[in-house]
Amino acid sequence: MSIWKNKDLFIIAEIGGNHEGNFEYAKKLTHLACSSKAHTIKYQVYTGDTLVSPVESPDRNKHFKKFELSQDQFIELSNICRSYDKDFSVSVWNPDSVDWIDPLVTYYKIGSGDMNCYPVIDKFIAKKKPIVISTGLANEQEVIEVIQYIQNSDDFYKSPDNLAVLQCNSMYPTPDEDINLKTIRKYQELFPEVTVGYSDHSLDTLAAMTSIALGAKIIEVHFTDSREGKTFRDHLVSFTKDEIDQLYTDGLRIQKQLGSPLKQPTKSEIESGHVTSFRRAVYFNKDLPEGHTIQIEDLCFLRPCHGIPAKDWKKLIGKRIKHNTKAFTKISKDNLL
């Protein structure tokens, strides 16, 4: 069952590589993230040699080797998450890890760099668990193709409960002009059978908040204890616990404030009586005798809207009054000829 199915807003706190290969720090970050309002705590599972060519990109290969955690360490992190009743989630960048990681996860995350790596995606599809896809680096056609590929592989993924697509930019940090939150609306049009969300790499909380206002249901943000004094780039685009808590609290308010596209008087407006008390009706501005023919000079427009609404004032012109009428009292249709 999809863990985001019954949630109005689903927050992923990605520790990712912010532990920088230090397992004690990884545990500290995990405990802190679990104490936040995030629903799932996410990591990245890889080895340098199964991710980056040591010949073509030796420096990046060494970088990822430095950040490796072991299978047993990830199992321990998953147990910490479970102890807080939080979901443990990963981007699996080492395909050989899928079998041992599968019992620990309820869904799979495909990072932007693997969005077009179908051999890796096939391993996730085979497990028949919900999939979340980030779409940094991609053009629209590539996103369409991967969604179609996954859905054509198994009808299980033709439900928004089981497949989600996140607008994303792979830059750390992402310049404002490259965030392109309008893509969220485009994805909603293109993929009605897919949950749409946003994966953030910006420098503050504004883009994530705005994405919620545009309809994003899943929000993925990097997580750190503090951005101060950190040199690893991911910390700079990460949320703290307080910021995640505020994102969730304000995000639910934003969703509530979005309300319905159907424009009509709301429950609070009706119950307060404002529909009548705030609107104007037509009133006579003087006492008028029986038989008087109504002219515009006889009229004024006042609150409350009792009797003839102000928008219908022209219908009164030329009509005659049946009975003497006092100024500023409700005009009744029964008193008109």
User: What would the pLDDT profile of 61-111 be if each residue is shown by its tens digit?
Assistant: 998 899 899 999 999 999 999 999 999 999 999 889 999 999 999 999 999
Residue appearing with tokens 């949950």: 195
With a cut of 80, say whether residue 2 has pLDDT above it.
no
229: pLDDT confidence band, cut at 50, 70 and 90? confident
Among 252, 253, 170, 239, residue whose Cα is nearest residue 206: 239
As a whole number of angstroms, the distance between CA 273 and CA 292 comes to 33
230: pLDDT confidence band, cut at 50, 70 and 90? confident
With a cut of 80, say whether residue 312 has pLDDT above it.
yes
Average predicted confidence (pLDDT) for the chain: 96
With a cut of 70, say whether residue 1 has pLDDT above it.
no
Same domain, 225 and 299: no
Angle, helix 140-153 to helix 182-190, in steps of 10 degrees: 40
With a cut of 90, say whether residue 22 has pLDDT above it.
yes
Among the candidates 258, 290, 311, a domain finishes at 258
4 domain residue, yes or no: no
215: pLDDT confidence band, cut at 50, 70 and 90? very high
Domain count of the fold of the chain: 2
Q: What is the pLDDT of residue 231?
A: 85
Domain extent, residue 279, equals 267-335
Same domain, 172 and 112: yes
Same domain, 216 and 93: yes
Among the candidates 234, 258, 282, a domain finishes at 258
Q: What is the pLDDT of residue 148?
A: 98
Same domain, 232 and 132: yes
Which residues, 6 or more positions from 62, have their beta carbon under 8 angstroms from its beta carbon? 48
As a whole number of angstroms, the distance between CA 108 and CA 63 comes to 24
As a whole number of angstroms, the distance between CA 121 and CA 146 comes to 9
